[in-house]
Each structure stands twice: as C-alpha cells, then as structure tokens.
C-alpha cells in the first residue's frame, strides 16, 4: 500500500450510489439535485443524512420546506439524473426540461420521481455543519419503490455514472443465509 | 412506484461499500469493525463520517484514541472482512484470528490493513448523536491505496458481501470526459 493523492484514493473507493434529493422551493416548485454523499445514520428511529453545500439551491429549499425525498434513479432515467447533477434549478426547470415526472409523496410535500428504483420520504430532523457542506439529517417517514427494477445508478466521484444491480450482479458473494462459497472457506 | 416495507426498500437501495473502521483500544490493541454506513462530508477540509452504534467496542475505542482509519478491503480479504462485521473485538482478537496484517499509518496511531484497495487516516473532528448511532466525523489526514487493486467490497444491508470494480465494471456508463454513450443521447 502506498500513499495516494486524494483524487486517486477517492476514485479507488468508488463507486457509491447516486441519488436525487428532491425539495420544494419557496414558490412550491420541485427541484432535484444529484448527490453521492449520503448514508444511513440510525435504525430506530430511521434516519439518513445527505451532505449539501450551502451554495446549492437545494440547501435553501430544504431549509425552507424542512422536508425532502431521496430518490434512487433507475437506468431508464440515467440521462435526466446525470443532468440533475450538472446544472442548478436556478438556471433550468429540471422536471420540465429533463422529462422527470413528479409523483405525489405520501407524507411530505416534495414529490417522488416516477421510475425510480426506490425512494425515501424524509422530514428534516437535524442540521449539522461539517466543513464546506451541511449534513441534513432526515427522519424517514415513508419508503417506496419498484421491486421489478433491480438496478440503480452509481457514480465514480461525479465523473461517471453506471447502473448496477442491487446485489452487485456478481458471480460470487458471501451470503449470511446461504453460507460461504467454496473458494472462500478456508 | 408502490409503498415498500423498510427492509425491501433498503435491499433495493443496496449495495453500498463495505469498509473496516480500525481503532485502538485502551490497551493499544487494533480493532477492525465492518460497516456500511459512512459517507464523505466535506471537500475542504476533507471530512468523512462513520455511523457507529454506542454498544460497539469501536465506539469506546474511537472515543478513547480520537483517531481511526477507514480501510476498504479487497476481494483477497473478503472472508476476514466479513468476519469483522460479525463478531466483536470483545470476544476475539480479530487481527490475530482472521489473519489481518496491520501496517503502520503515516499520521495516526491506529494501523492500516495490508491488501486493502484504499485507506483513509482520520482524526476525530466532531461527534454527532443521530438516533441509535453516533456519527464520528473524521478529518482525513492521509490517503493510501493499492492502485493495482481495482475492486473492493460492497454489502447488501449486511446480508451479503460482493466485490465490485471501482468503475462498476459495466458495459456502459455516462462519462464526463468521454461524453454520452449513443443509446442515451436523446
């Protein structure tokens, strides 16, 4: 193991799942931002966090509405999802321009996006300043999905976007229920 | 899109990368815990967060030493990495029992692990209580890796472990530098 530059290390630690954080602006318009910096934070209550830079339009939208959805786009929506990570809602109406279809959420005001593999509805529970980003901690109040869609998108530090199966789609795996594959039983 | 149970939603949102958080206990022994709940939190300064439940041995170790490394195991170490997510250092000396080889880090006291694809050295910068977990925010002070190892491990909500390439190893991708693949240019 040798010392690596930051960019190379982050590349090797890729990919991570690429999701769209959907919020509403003060005018009630939906806004979708592509992000890769998210993770689960608690099992009970169910919490997840998304890291958003203060200069993003999404930052002011979430502060305003205090709700968001986190939607995992399927390959079907790859191009629209990609564009959502490239431009700001300040410049373009992403839902209209990129062909995203809003679906009503069950509990929160920001919508879900049609054809996503899975989506979480979140109410803002906590806000933490972490360096040049804000971690918005959301309480997950409803979960939705398309169980027939087995893939969603992953990013390599925002330079690439790939579609992968939820189980990795690999020819071997360690599996808690099935036991260990032969070549790993040593 | 239909409403899903939590477990099914989390399965569909999988996989996410599986890393080993390495800390030192009060006796100076290294301890490696498998986890999937981590993400980057800031670009400048470089911060990442790992979510650790208070009952974990790692929790008291990080509070004690206030440093940790986050190591991404390669397929070579899949079985050892898997076991590190199953048992506690309170019960077994994981480095000795599972054949993990400690390598000295550059800045922090907890070691790196030999044969990892990539590893981050972190100093504890912040601690945030989030539901039933604690988010340890680490300032990344050094980065290491094996650029010849192109794969690392991913988990499906801790029920499976798979090895995947850092670029997803897929036959198509959106790429910022190469432009869009033909079938997605519409």
Per-residue pLDDT of chain B (186 residues), as tens digits, is 899 999 999 989 988 889 999 999 999 999 999 999 999 999 999 999 999 999 999 999 999 999 999 999 988 888 899 889 888 989 899 999 999 999 999 999 999 999 999 999 999 999 999 999 999 999 999 999 998 887 888 887 667 777 778 766 654 455 544 444 433 433
Q: Does B171 touch chain A (CB under 8 A)?
A: no
Q: Does B18 touch chain A (CB under 8 A)?
A: no
Residue A104, classified by CB atoms within 10 Å of its CB into exposed (0-12), middle (13-18) or buried (19+), is exposed
Q: Does A43 touch chain B (CB under 8 A)?
A: yes
Percent over 90 (pLDDT), chain A: 66
Q: With an 8 Å Cβ cutoff, are A41 and B8 in contact?
A: no
**Among candidate residues A37, A119, A47, the one with its CA nearest the CA of residue B42:** A37
Question: What pLDDT, on a 0 to 100 scale, did the predictor assign at position A124?
Answer: 98
Whether A1 is covered by a domain: the verdict is no
DSSP-assigned letter for residue B83: H
Percent over 70 (pLDDT), chain A: 88
CB within 8 Å of chain A, chain B residues 80-99: 82
Question: What pLDDT, on a 0 to 100 scale, did the predictor assign at position B59?
Answer: 98
Peptide bond into A14 cis (omega under 30): no
Whether A156 is covered by a domain: the verdict is yes
Q: CB-based contacts of B61: which residues, under 8 Å, 6+ apart? A: B23, B24, B25, B26, B31, B68, B89
Confidence (pTM): 0.91
**Among candidate residues A112, A50, A116, A111, the one with its CA nearest the CA of residue A78:** A116
Q: What's the mean per-residue pLDDT of chain A?
A: 88
Structural domain boundaries, residue A168:
12-184
Phi, psi of A74 (to 5 degrees): -90, 175
Q: Of the candidates B17, B43, B79, which has its C-beta nearest A184's C-beta?
A: B79
**Structure confidence by residue, pLDDT tens digits, A121-172:** 999 999 999 999 999 999 999 999 998 887 888 887 667 777 778 766 654 4
Phi, psi of A141 (to 5 degrees): -110, -10
Whether A46 is covered by a domain: the verdict is yes
Q: Does B163 touch chain A (CB under 8 A)?
A: yes
Question: What pLDDT, on a 0 to 100 scale, did the predictor assign at position A172?
Answer: 47
Q: Count of A–B CB contacts within 8 Å?
A: 269
C-alpha distances out from residue A106 to A68, A102, A144, A161, B68, Å: 12, 13, 9, 29, 40
Question: What pLDDT, on a 0 to 100 scale, did the predictor assign at position B117?
Answer: 94
Phi, psi of A46 (to 5 degrees): -80, 115
Q: For A171, name the nearest residue in chain B, comparing CA atoms only.
A: B162
**Among candidate residues A48, A156, A79, A70, the one with its CA nearest the CA of residue A116:** A70
Q: Coil, strand, or helix at residue B43?
A: coil
Q: With an 8 Å Cβ cutoff, are A172 and B164 in contact?
A: no
Q: Please give the sequence-ordered ranges of beta strands (E in DSSP) within A132-181, or none if there are none.
A: 133-145, 151-155, 160-165, 174-175
Whether B186 is covered by a domain: the verdict is no
Q: With an 8 Å Cβ cutoff, are B51 and A44 in contact?
A: no
Q: CB-based contacts of A84: which residues, under 8 Å, 6+ apart? A: A20, A32, A33, A34, A94, A98, A100
Distance, in Å, from the CA atom of A14 to the CA atom of A121, rounded to the nearest integer, reads 26
> Cα B182 from chain centroid?
35
Q: With an 8 Å Cβ cutoff, are A162 and B162 in contact?
A: no
Question: What pLDDT, on a 0 to 100 scale, did the predictor assign at position B151?
Answer: 85
Strands A133-145 and A116-130: antiparallel
Total count of domains within chain B: 1
- Whether residue A184 is predicted with pLDDT greater than 60 in this model: the reply is no
DSSP assignments along A31-56, one per residue: EEEEE--EEEEETTTTEEEEEE-TTS
The average pLDDT across A80-85 equals 89
The average pLDDT across A98-115 equals 96
Whether B76 is covered by a domain: the verdict is yes
Q: Coil, strand, or helix at residue A121?
A: strand
Q: How far is A28 from chain B (nearest CA, A)?
A: 23
Whether A7 is covered by a domain: the verdict is no
Whether B66 is covered by a domain: the verdict is yes
CATH number of domain containing B129: 2.30.110.10
Q: Coil, strand, or helix at residue A133?
A: strand
Q: Which of B75, B156, B162, B179 should be substituted to probe chain A, the one whose Cβ sees the most A Cβ atoms within 10 Å?
A: B162
Which of A40-49, A53-62, A140-149 is least confident? A140-149
* B57 backbone φψ class: left, alpha, beta (φ>0; ψ -120 to 50): alpha
Whether B22 is covered by a domain: the verdict is yes
């Amino acid at each position: 193991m040798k010392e690596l530059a930051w960019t190379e290390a982050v590349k090797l630690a890729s990919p991570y799942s690429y999701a769209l954080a959907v919020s509403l602006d003060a005018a009630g318009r939906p806004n979708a931002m592509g992000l890769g910096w998210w993770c689960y934070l608690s099992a009970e209550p169910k919490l997840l966090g998304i890291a958003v830079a203060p200069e993003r339009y999404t930052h002011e939208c979430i502060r305003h509405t205090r709700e968001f959805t986190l939607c995992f786009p399927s390959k079907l929506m790859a191009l629209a999802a990609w564009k959502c990570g490239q431009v700001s809602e300040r410049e373009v109406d992403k839902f209209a321009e990129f062909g995203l279809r809003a679906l009503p959420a069950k509990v929160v005001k920001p919508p879900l996006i049609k054809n996503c593999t899975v989506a979480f509805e979140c109410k803002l529970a906590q806000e933490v300043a972490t360096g040049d980003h804000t971690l918005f901690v959301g309480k997950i109040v409803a979960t939705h999905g398309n169980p027939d869609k087995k893939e969603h998108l992953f990013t390599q530090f925002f330079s690439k976007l790939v579609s992968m199966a939820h189980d990795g789609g690999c020819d071997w795996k360690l599996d808690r229920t099935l036991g260990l594959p032969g070549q790993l039983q040593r």
